[in-house]
Structure formats: structure tokens, C-alpha cells
């Protein structure tokens, strides 16, 4: 701790008595009882605002979902309460460390997916899937709109048996909402490969890009309208 003395005027040092005042201050500090100094320090510390510590959730869980272009899912889930992080990537294929160009060929077996880290005390896995089956079309095989290929298939990659059970129940419930059969795959996650950096936060970083305006934007707006209670405050 530093004791800073602010002089009203620097010219006071030019006065003849300055040589007497400073030694006196020094002697006064030395003669002051230690208990008195510690008491003063404690009072000073009370006046200093403590830095707030961000509370972390007691537990976090992860979900991995694919429903067309990962830019769309990422943009939606980033606005959902309880979601701590969303990463775009690839999963479900047989090629290790795939690149975007490789996945776009449709020969790697990978789907474009998002990996969602969330606080289960705020949002449940079932609620994540409720949104999932609403913001993309789970009835079209290997495509979403004009995006065609197995990399755009509808897929849920579960992390444990409980997620598998919930996913199967959510798929049955979604069948009542769509006029055609649900083709969403439900498979175990083997490995998630994070996509290139320029794919992360794509909608936020490129809101004026045509694809973002005409494809991603409407999905985000649909989420905002249908799931207002799920929006982050």
C-alpha cells in the first residue's frame, strides 16, 4: 500500500521550514503504534471497491446439432438464454481434421454442426431441441433450402444415453408439427472438429452478407418471434 501526500502548492518546499516538517512526519509515522496503523489500513481497504467476481454455473453441458449451414444454428443459439458458447464445426464423418473445402465436396461424411455449451440450470437439452426442430426443416434429406449435400443433413449427435433418450422423444414430438416424415439422424458423437476461424460468429461479423440477409436473418427472426421466453435478456 502506498501513502500519497498531495501538497496544495509545490512552492511550499521552498519555505525554510520544509526541512523540519518532513523529518517530523517521518518520526510521527515511526512512533505511531502498529495497531493504529493496521486499523487505518483496514479502514482504507473498506473504502476500496472490491472487484466483482463473475459467478460460473455449478455445471455445464454440451450439445452437438446439425441442421443445414452452421452459420444459421450458431446465430440462433447465441441469442438463447443459458447458452454460454456456440462453436461451428464438423462431425459425423470419417476424415480426421477436415477443412471446409473438403466437407463441401460431400465425400467426408461430415455434417456442418454447432457445438453448444450451456447451463442446464437455465436451459434444458429438451428446450435446445425444441428450438432445433423449429428453426430448420427436419423433413428434407441431405438439404436445407438451396443448400444441398450430406453435409447439410439434419443430425443430432448425442453425448450420453440421456441425451439420446431426450432426442428420440423430441423427434417423435416434432413429427406432429411437420406434415412429412422426420429424417433427422440420431447418432453418438465420436469427435467434433472446430471449423476455421472465419466461420465463427459469422452472422455477427457479416450481417450485410447476402446469405446472412436472406437465409440466416429470417431464421434468427423466427426464433425471436416464436421463443421470446428463451431470449437472453
Mean pLDDT of the residues in the chain = 83
pLDDT at 49 over 50: no
Dihedral angle, C-alpha 92, 97, 99, 104, nearest 10 °: -20
8 A C-beta contact, residue 151 and residue 104: yes
Q: What pLDDT sits at residue 84? A: 98
**Greatest CA separation found in the chain?**
97
Look at the domain 61-230 and name its fold.
Answer: 3.30.1060
Query: Which residues are known catalytic residues?
Result: 69
Res. 1 pLDDT band, cuts 50 70 90:
very low
pLDDT 10s digits, 73-123: 999 999 999 999 999 999 999 999 999 999 999 999 999 999 999 999 999
CA 128/CA 77 separation, integer angstroms: 8
8 A C-beta contact, residue 62 and residue 125: no
Q: What pLDDT sits at residue 193? A: 98
Res. 38 pLDDT band, cuts 50 70 90:
very low
CA 221/CA 233 separation, integer angstroms: 16
For the chain, give every domain's residue range.
Answer: 61-230
In which element (H, E) is residue 64 found?
A: strand 61-67
**Between vectors from CA 81 to CA 132 and to CA 196, what angle results, nearest 5°?**
65
pLDDT 10s digits, 116-156: 999 999 999 999 999 999 999 999 999 999 999 999 999 99
Q: What pLDDT sits at residue 7? A: 33
Amino acid at each position: 500500500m502506498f501513502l500519497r501526500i498531495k501538497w496544495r502548492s509545490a512552492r511550499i518546499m521552498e519555505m525554510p521550514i520544509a526541512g523540519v516538517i518532513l523529518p517530523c512526519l517521518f518520526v510521527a509515522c515511526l512512533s505511531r503504534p502498529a495497531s493504529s496503523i493496521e486499523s487505518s489500513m483496514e479502514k482504507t481497504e473498506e473504502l476500496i471497491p472490491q472487484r466483482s467476481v463473475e459467478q460460473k454455473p455449478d455445471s455445464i453441458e454440451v450439445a452437438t446439432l446439425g441442421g443445414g449451414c452452421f452459420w444459421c444454428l450458431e446465430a440462433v443459439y447465441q441469442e438463447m438464454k443459458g447458452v454460454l458458447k456456440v462453436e461451428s464445426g464438423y462431425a459425423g464423418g470419417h476424415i480426421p481434421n477436415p477443412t471446409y473445402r473438403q466437407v463441401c465436396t460431400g465425400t467426408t461424411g461430415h455434417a456442418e454442426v454447432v457445438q453448444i455449451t450451456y447451463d442446464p440450470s437455465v436451459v434444458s437439452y429438451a428446450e435446445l431441441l425444441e428450438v432445433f426442430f423449429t428453426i430448420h426443416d427436419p423433413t428434407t434429406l441431405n438439404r436445407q433450402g438451396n443448400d444441398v449435400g450430406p453435409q447439410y443433413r439434419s443430425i443430432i449427435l448425442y453425448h450420453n444415453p440421456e441425451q439420446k433418450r431426450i432426442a428420440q422423444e423430441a423427434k417423435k414430438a416434432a413429427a406432429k408439427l411437420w406434415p412429412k416424415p422426420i429424417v433427422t439422424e440420431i447418432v453418438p458423437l465420436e469427435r467434433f472438429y472446430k471449423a476455421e476461424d472465419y466461420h465463427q460468429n459469422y452472422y455477427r461479423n457479416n450481417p450485410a452478407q447476402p446469405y446472412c440477409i436472406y437465409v440466416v436473418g429470417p431464421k434468427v427472426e423466427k426464433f425471436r418471434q416464436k421463443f421470446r421466453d428463451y431470449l437472453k435478456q
